Structure 1
Amino acid sequence: MPARRQAVAVAALGTLPLALTALTAAPAAAHGSMGDPVSRVSQCYAEGPESPKSAACKAAVAAGGTQALYDWNGIRIGDAGGRHRQLIPDGKLCSANNAEFKGLDLARDDWPATSVRSGSHTFKYRVTAPHKGTFKVYITKPGHNPAKPLAWGDLDLENPVATATDPAATGGFYTFSGSLPERSGKHLLYAVWQRSDSPEAFYSCSDVTFGGGASAGGGTAPAPTASAPTRKQIEDGTDKSTIENHGHGDHDARTSAEPVAAPNEPKAAGATANLAETGGDSSTTYVAIGGAAALALGSSALFLSARRRTVSGGRQGR
């Protein structure tokens, strides 16, 4: 076979493994944290990583540093696969057993808290890279003492206050409904977002107060009022983040994802709009990958067909 024909054959056949690899490529990673009631890490980020205002957030930075706050949307376990209790020990729920976020596990009764009431509640989960999955939000049991380390046994795991699968993502949030039980004083909400297209899961702790702020565990000091970071604050801190966030952060193309459009921002057309409206449908990604793979396979088939015709013609001319 002439050298030129050999080179073409190698190039054509070389596309086959690339095509197969493309067909099995994983979609982008997801990231986020509870926005309402605001999570501890989001609250401290909103106060300012370099100069937090509340005593609890100052203590969190002293324990774990400022990077944890810039990485507010990355409290995660990449291979969780639903094994939350097996992978996260008591006392480390808020950090998901990640040393970077250990300041969030500090047991104290003065974490900034969101004022809530028993009954229906609309939860908002701030998302920076949407994907399909299931949210479960748990609340601490009656008599919870916020001044003690949070353990799995402190949560009412049999009765989550909210469960949502593939909620729509709009305005930068997943929004879903739930119901808060009768409680008094300070409590904690623990949110678990388990992706369905990956074993990755995300976790967050949100401090709340029912009916005034006195602690059910005996404390009396009211917690500062919590507030979520603004979109501008999020954008201003992305260059210091090591977590993918609106195309910034870890600079890893494998974890990039289209951002969810904020209020008053036009929705992107086609694939991006589908991603935001369906909570991260990755079908568009697979269509694009599949198309590229199909082209590669088609090129290989055309070459092999042409090769057969050339060989056949050569034989007939003999």
Structure 2
Amino acid sequence: MDSKRKLAATIGAAMAPVLALTLPTGSASAHGWVNAPASRQEQCARGTVSCGAITWEPQSVEGPKGLRSCSGGNSRFAELDDDNKGWKVSDVSRTTTFTWKFTARHRTSNYEYFVDGTKVATINGNGQQPPETVSHQVNLGSATGRHKVLAVWNIADTANAFYACIDVNIR
């Protein structure tokens, strides 16, 4: 009986890597995006604008910290960088509330907000894990008219950040 157990264990050990590589995988349980006002990935998820893979993964715009692109440098989501795609513009006040929705809540270093590339706010995350939603009231400065806001969620326990662009008309 011992030889049968050894044989079964050997076969199982040999098959494990094959099974791991061939079984279907689920999507990553990643992470977070701005859903109000509607970010570009939120517009894709809602079907407001026709998009590719980001339609099903609005939470997945992750890249190295320090980037200033809507796609987070992720080529799968490059269409988020296209300013001419027909993004819907949200009317906002100079002080506006941005709401993040999280599907995996990483400890947070900080959140940064940029208007057309100029930083207008940094909000400390204190290394804490956020709740399912977080809202920040952000002063967008003296800008008026149509602008692009880049919201960045810098993670405390990885070298990455999550990126979301929001097209706004500041009144």
| TM-score normalised over the length of structure 1 | 0.41
What residue is the counterpart of 2:114 in the other structure? Answer: 138
Residues of 2 paired with 1:30 and 1:109: CA distance? 25
1:75 and 2:50 are equivalent in the alignment: no
CA RMSD of aligned residues (A): 2.4
Deviations 1:217-269 (A, max 9, x none): xxxxxxxxxxxxxxxxxxxxxxxxxxxxxxxxxxxxxxxxxxxxxxxxxxxxx
What residue is the counterpart of 2:98 in the other structure? Answer: 123
Q: State the secondary structure of the residue aligned to 2:168.
A: strand
Q: Which amino acid aligns with 2:61?
A: I
Q: Which amino acid aligns with 1:42?
A: E
Deviations 1:115-160 (A, max 9, x none): 10113x32211111112211111112xxxxxxxxxxxxxx113xx2
Distance 1:161 1:185, change over 3 A: same
Distance 1:30 1:206, change over 3 A: same
Note the C-alpha offset of 1:162.
Answer: 4.5
Deviations 1:2-58 (A, max 9, x none): xxxxxxxxxxxxxxxxxxxxxxxxxxx7511012222101112112xxxxx5xxx23
1:178 and 2:138 are equivalent in the alignment: yes
Counting matched residue pairs gives 142
Deviations 1:279-309 (A, max 9, x none): xxxxxxxxxxxxxxxxxxxxxxxxxxxxxxx
Note the C-alpha offset of 1:69.
Answer: 1.2
Note the C-alpha offset of 1:178.
Answer: 2.1
Residues of 2 paired with 1:98 and 1:197: CA distance? 20
Residues of 2 paired with 1:126 and 1:75: CA distance? 13
Note the C-alpha offset of 1:106.
Answer: 1.2
Identity of aligned residues (%): 25
Q: Which has the higher helix share?
A: 1
Q: Which has the higher strand share?
A: 2
CA contact (8 A) 1:139 1:156 kept: yes
Distance 1:107 1:123, change over 3 A: closer
Note the C-alpha offset of 1:174.
Answer: 1.4
What residue is the counterpart of 1:216 in the other structure? Answer: none
Distance 1:126 1:193, change over 3 A: same
CA contact (8 A) 2:100 2:134 kept: yes
Q: Which amino acid aligns with 2:38?
A: V
CA contact (8 A) 1:30 1:131 kept: no
Residues of 1 paired with 2:61 and 2:164: CA distance? 7
Residues of 2 paired with 1:168 and 1:130: CA distance? 6
Residues of 1 paired with 2:40 and 2:160: CA distance? 21
What residue is the counterpart of 2:44 in the other structure? Answer: 44
**Unaligned regions of 5+ residues in structure 2, if any?**
1-28
Matches within 5 A, 1:152-163: 155-157=117-119, 160-163=120-123
Q: State the secondary structure of the residue aligned to 1:73.
A: helix
**Unaligned regions of 5+ residues in structure 1, if any?**
1-28, 48-52, 141-154, 212-318
Q: Which amino acid aligns with 1:32?
A: G
Q: State the secondary structure of the residue aligned to 1:42.
A: helix
1:199 and 2:159 are equivalent in the alignment: yes
CA contact (8 A) 2:148 2:165 kept: yes
Note the C-alpha offset of 1:169.
Answer: 4.0
| TM-score normalised over the length of structure 2 | 0.72
Distance 1:43 1:162, change over 3 A: farther
CA contact (8 A) 1:135 1:165 kept: yes
| Match of residue 124, structure 2, among 158, 164, 168 | 164
Greater gyration radius: 1
CA contact (8 A) 2:107 2:130 kept: no
Residues of 2 paired with 1:161 and 1:169: CA distance? 18
Distance 1:107 1:39, change over 3 A: same
